């Protein structure tokens, strides 16, 4: 008898922790409750009729914290398929917490102290009972068996067969395999019918550009946009369109749902995958992968958004199972040692001031990696170049953290490094600067209180000696400094040597006037001219010939060397993909010149107002680029920069037709009367905000006004002021556009192409016109900030109907 009892106890150790309360039909009556207690690895649960699924408290690592969740109850790998969320955070409960099924509030989770941690938020009807179904869906029903709330409609990170998504439905990844807090990835079924996966910028829900999409938006066939995401009981996952068509999320054979457990999960590392597990398996069996998307997540991440799959300063590598792994480069370590996907931090301080204070130029070693890139951290491109010169250029640049070289092209990058990945197709080298001596991060040890007691007596003796030595040292130092200062005064006065404080940061090159005269062949090839001066094309020798644009400034403040260099420091430290990069300068006598990178596609004006009109998509991308560049100047660089002269002539296009703002930061360099309008204001006729003509303070909103005019020019492909127009009411673009908008005649006057019909709602012409009208409001307080403009262009913020920009019938200036 005793042997039998011991045998039963021993066998019970291998029972799966599914229940202390089990139901034959899966139904739970109102008033029932579960308590988060653990005996060994067991916890209370409610079972589905077949016993396949359990609803209850899942122990997290130890027996002190529990997760209210649903899991597979019959397999050793008890995978969680749903968990309670509070404001998108996992509802973790301490030991002794209870969940009660109530008539008015449904499921209510409370701590041992009675504090409400989570509830199911049933707002309509009275709950009669709960049902744990064999599909893995927990449903709250009324007396007529109508569903009031169910877990299938409150998604976490997993879909099960029989579950569907309507538009706006989404999955949110967890932070790690064992941490159920909100992660960085989101699968969203958009309002346009497109199923996308993207990273999100925590702690908000703001998504970056998707790295995976089904492209099930409205195409050439009417009704082809996605209506519903369906995971049917046969194991197929597809997007059902409005016209009944089906688009499989992944191509491949399905497995039998009768013989296998099946799930589709957005994993913590951003991979969306479908798995199956044989129901009647024995032995060491695990989940099998059926398919996963995207195929290569390291390289699928868009190069224009977000921090990447692995966080800043990290490198993403794809493993054999197509799951990413993240590593820190040499000289960097994880921000969180327990979270390899959270990004890396440098183990040393790198900066211009820190390097200057080190007192030596031999500060860094180089770590060479092959086929590794951080594609959106570039701030300067050097071409044609060699690998040796690329490495050396980065070493001499205090802002450069990494330089990559491929096909005679050197790209210098600054911290933080974004979207790091291994890409075998690059055929490139990455030169990473690693500080030899990380003493800049070392701090003196904290004093030991015991040492103070033992050394107190000897310290009293030493104080008297040290006082005498200190007094003598101060006297000698004073005499030496006085002599040195006197000597430096005469030497500097004689040789006119400039102090180191007046020298610009090392990333800007100082040219002599003769060098630039030779580089431009005597200033012969003119690229353009405007309010600030004349621009010439040239070629300078920095390692090898590099094409540049040299601007000879007119009307620069005289006798203002300090102010000139102060402003150049601001311009030189601005680095953004939508700003023209300043390469160097000349400050010699009366000559003030700026050297910019040369952009081959010229100005937006020449591109926009040509006989052949750009495509609608090109125009919208340019408008978004200008807006993002202004947002950076206004809010994101160290010193706010108000451009004061935004117009198509000051927006350049690179080889890929990316908009790049030029002449930013020059307003403070010019004399007060230097402007195109020949008044005491800055700017150009047709783009000048009304407050320039009054005594109102000038803020960044003047750039918003000018951007609004440029946006309307981009939309209509015509200049803001057309004095030659035969119809007077059309001469001023802003007035004419508002009249057309008010009269519902926008479509009749737009320059569009066929592709506009396939665009999503946020890029429709009418919405962009509304944004432009908001920007050109006469009252600066009514104009949005550039941040809000960007959000409206990206479709994040709703665009409301704008008021009339002006109380006057016509505008002047």
Query: Mind giving me the DSSP string for 81-108?
Result: EEE-EETTEE-EEETT-EEEEETTTEEE
Pairing of strands 509-510, 582-588: parallel
Q: What is the mean pLDDT of residues 550-571?
A: 66
For residue 767, tell me if it sits in a domain. Answer: yes
For residue 131, tell me if it sits in a domain. Answer: yes
Over residues 40-49, the pLDDT tens digits come to 344 578 999 9
Together in a domain, 534 and 631? no
Inter-CA distances, 33 with 66, 121, 175, 788, Å: 15, 17, 29, 48
The CA-based angle 529-532-534, given to 5 degrees, is 35
Please say if the pLDDT value at position 407 is more than 70. Answer: yes
552 is in an annotated binding site: yes
Together in a domain, 589 and 690? no
> Which CATH number fits the domain that encloses residue 655?
1.10.510.10
Distance CA(90)–CA(67), nearest Å, equals 8
Together in a domain, 577 and 713? no
Please say if the pLDDT value at position 668 is more than 50. Answer: yes
Please say if the pLDDT value at position 750 is more than 70. Answer: no
Q: Which residue among 154, 177, 198 closes a domain?
A: 154
Q: What is the mean pLDDT of residues 706-713?
A: 94
Together in a domain, 91 and 17? yes
Residue tagged 């703002």 (tokens): 661
Q: Is residue 87 annotated as a catalytic residue, yes or no?
A: no
Please say if the pLDDT value at position 476 is more than 50. Answer: no
What percentage of residues in the chain have a pLDDT greater than 90? 25
Residue 243's pLDDT is: 81
Query: Band of the pLDDT at 623, cuts 50, 70, 90?
Result: very high
Over residues 249-296, the pLDDT tens digits come to 876 677 877 888 999 999 999 999 999 999 887 777 889 999 999 888
Query: Band of the pLDDT at 667, cuts 50, 70, 90?
Result: low
Pairing of strands 246-248, 237-241: antiparallel
Contact 64, 72 (CB under 8 A): no
For residue 249, tell me if it sits in a domain. Answer: no
Together in a domain, 683 and 652? yes
Distance CA(275)–CA(177), nearest Å, equals 15
* Counted domains in the chain: 4
Residue 489's pLDDT is: 41
For residue 682, tell me if it sits in a domain. Answer: yes
Distance CA(343)–CA(329), nearest Å, equals 11
Inter-CA distances, 581 with 328, 571, 585, 597, 660, Å: 29, 9, 12, 6, 9
> Which CATH number fits the domain that encloses residue 30?
2.90.10.10
Residue 703's pLDDT is: 93
Please say if the pLDDT value at position 84 is more than 60. Answer: yes
Over residues 28-67, the pLDDT tens digits come to 999 999 998 865 344 578 999 989 999 998 888 766 788 8
Residue 403's pLDDT is: 94
Q: Which residue among 565, 597, 629 closes a domain?
A: 597
Together in a domain, 402 and 529? no
Q: What is the mean pLDDT of residues 112-118?
A: 88
Together in a domain, 578 and 679? no
Over residues 480-535, the pLDDT tens digits come to 454 444 444 444 333 333 332 333 444 578 889 999 999 999 998 988 876 667 89
Together in a domain, 627 and 736? yes
> Which CATH number fits the domain that encloses residue 587?
3.30.200.20
Domain that holds residue 76: 13-154
Together in a domain, 655 and 756? yes
Q: Is pLDDT larger for residue 118 or for residue 567? A: 118
Residue 688's pLDDT is: 87
For residue 29, tell me if it sits in a domain. Answer: yes
Average pLDDT across the chain, whole number: 78
Q: Which residue among 441, 466, 486 closes a domain?
A: 441
Together in a domain, 689 and 749? yes
CA-closest candidate to residue 79, choices 218, 249, 273, 212: 273
For residue 188, tell me if it sits in a domain. Answer: no
Residue 95's pLDDT is: 87
Over residues 100-114, the pLDDT tens digits come to 999 988 999 998 888
Inter-CA distances, 107 with 87, 116, 450, Å: 16, 11, 58
Please say if the pLDDT value at position 637 is more than 70. Answer: yes
Which member of 157, 378, 397, 645 is catalytic? 645
For residue 255, tell me if it sits in a domain. Answer: no
Cα of first residue to Cα of last residue in the chain, in angstroms, is: 105
DSSP result, 616-637: HHHHHHHHHHHHHHHHIIIIIS
> Which CATH number fits the domain that encloses residue 336?
3.50.4.10
Together in a domain, 748 and 618? yes
Query: Band of the pLDDT at 405, cuts 50, 70, 90?
Result: very high
Q: Which residues pair with 435 in a beta bridge?
A: 364
Please say if the pLDDT value at position 675 is more than 80. Answer: no
Residue 12's pLDDT is: 39
Residue 326's pLDDT is: 92
Q: What is the mean pLDDT of residues 85-112?
A: 83
Together in a domain, 396 and 536? no
For residue 788, tell me if it sits in a domain. Answer: yes
Please say if the pLDDT value at position 139 is more than 90. Answer: yes
């Amino acid at each position: 008898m005793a042997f039998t009892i011991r045998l039963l106890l021993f066998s019970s150790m291998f029972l799966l922790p599914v229940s202390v309360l089990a139901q034959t039909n899966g139904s739970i009556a109102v008033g029932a409750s579960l308590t988060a207690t653990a005996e060994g690895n067991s916890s209370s649960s409610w079972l589905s009729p077949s016993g396949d699924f359990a609803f209850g408290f899942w122990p997290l690592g130890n027996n002190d914290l529990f997760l209210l969740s649903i899991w597979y109850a019959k397999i050793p790998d008890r995978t969680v398929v749903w968990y309670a969320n509070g404001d998108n955070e996992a509802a973790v409960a301490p030991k002794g917490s209870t969940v009660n099924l109530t008539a008015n509030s449904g499921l209510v989770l409370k701590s041992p102290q009675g504090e409400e941690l989570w509830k199911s938020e049933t707002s309509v009807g009275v709950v009669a009972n709960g049902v744990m179904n064999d599909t893995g869906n927990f449903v709250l029903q009324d007396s007529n068996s109508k569903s009031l709330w169910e877990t299938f409609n409150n998604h976490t990170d997993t879909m099960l067969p029989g579950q569907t998504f309507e538009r706006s439905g989404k999955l949110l990844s967890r932070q790690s395999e064992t941490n159920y807090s909100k992660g960085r990835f989101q699968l969203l079924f958009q309002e346009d019918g497109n199923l996308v996966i993207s990273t999100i910028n925590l702690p908000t829900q703001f998504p970056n550009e998707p790295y995976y999409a089904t492209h099930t938006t409205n195409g050439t066939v009417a009704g082809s946009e996605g209506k519903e995401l369906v995971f049917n009981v046969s194991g197929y996952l597809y997007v059902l369109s409005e016209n009944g068509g089906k688009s499989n999320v992944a191509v491949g054979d399905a497995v039998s749902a009768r013989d296998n457990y099946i799930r589709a999960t957005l994993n913590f590392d951003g991979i969306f995958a479908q798995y199956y597990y044989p129901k009647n398996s024995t032995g060491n069996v695990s989940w099998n992968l059926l398919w996963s998307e995207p195929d290569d997540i390291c390289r699928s991440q868009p190069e224009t958004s977000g921090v990447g799959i692995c966080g800043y300063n990290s490198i993403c590598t794809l493993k054999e199972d197509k799951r990413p792994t993240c590593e820190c480069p040499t000289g960097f370590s994880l921000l969180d040692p327990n979270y390899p996907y959270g990004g890396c931090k440098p183990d040393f301080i790198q900066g211009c001031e820190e390097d200057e204070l080190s007192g030596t130029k031999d500060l860094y070693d180089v770590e060479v990696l092959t086929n590794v890139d951080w594609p959106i951290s570039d701030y300067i491109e050097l071409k044609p170049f060699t690998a040796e010169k690329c490495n050396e250029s980065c070493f001499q640049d205090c802002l450069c953290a990494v330089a990559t070289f491929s096909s005679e092209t050197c790209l210098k990058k600054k911290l933080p490094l974004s979207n790091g990945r291994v890409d075998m197709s690059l055929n490139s080298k990455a030169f990473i600067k690693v500080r030899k001596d990380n003493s800049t991060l070392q701090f003196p040890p904290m004093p030991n209180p015991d040492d103070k007691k033992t050394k107190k007596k000897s310290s009293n003796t030493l104080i008297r000696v040290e006082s005498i030595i200190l007094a003598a040292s101060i006297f000698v130092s004073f005499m030496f400094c006085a002599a040195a200062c006197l000597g430096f005064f005469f030497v500097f006065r004689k040789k006119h040597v400039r102090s180191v404080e007046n020298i610009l940061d090392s990333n800007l090159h100082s040219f002599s006037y003769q060098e630039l005269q030779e580089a431009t062949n005597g200033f012969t090839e003119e690229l353009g001219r405007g309010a600030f001066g004349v621009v010439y094309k040239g070629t300078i020798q920095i390692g090898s010939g590099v094409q540049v644009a040299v601007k000879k400034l007119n009307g620069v403040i005289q006798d203002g060397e300090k102010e000139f260099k102060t402003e150049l420091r601001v311009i030189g430290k601005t680095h953004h993909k939508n700003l023209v990069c300043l390469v160097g300068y000349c400050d010699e006598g009366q000559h003030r010149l700026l050297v910019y990178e040369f952009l081959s596609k010229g100005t937006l004006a020449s591109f926009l107002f040509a006989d052949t009109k750009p495509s609608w998509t090109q125009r919208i991308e340019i408008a978004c680029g200008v807006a993002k560049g202004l947002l950076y100047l206004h809010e994101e660089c160290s010193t706010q920069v108000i451009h004061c002269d935004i117009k198509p002539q000051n927006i350049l296009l690179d080889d890929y037709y990316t908009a790049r703002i030029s002449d930013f930061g020059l307003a403070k360099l010019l004399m007060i009367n230097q402007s195109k309008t020949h008044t005491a204001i800055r700017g150009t006729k047709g783009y000048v905000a009304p407050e320039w003509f009054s005594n109102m303070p000038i803020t960044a909103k003047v750039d918003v006004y000018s951007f609004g005019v440029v946006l309307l020019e981009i939309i209509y492909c015509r200049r803001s002021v057309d004095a030659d127009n035969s119809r007077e009411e059309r001469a001023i673009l802003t007035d004419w556009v508002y009249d057309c908008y008010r009269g519902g005649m926008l479509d009749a006057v737009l320059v569009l192409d066929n592709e506009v019909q396939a665009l999503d709602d946020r890029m429709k012409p009418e919405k962009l016109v509304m944004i432009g009208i908001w920007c050109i409001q006469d009252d600066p307080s009514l104009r949005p900030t550039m941040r809000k403009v960007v959000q409206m262009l990206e479709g994040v913020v709703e665009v409301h109907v704008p008021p009339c920009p002006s109380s006057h019938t016509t505008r002047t200036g």
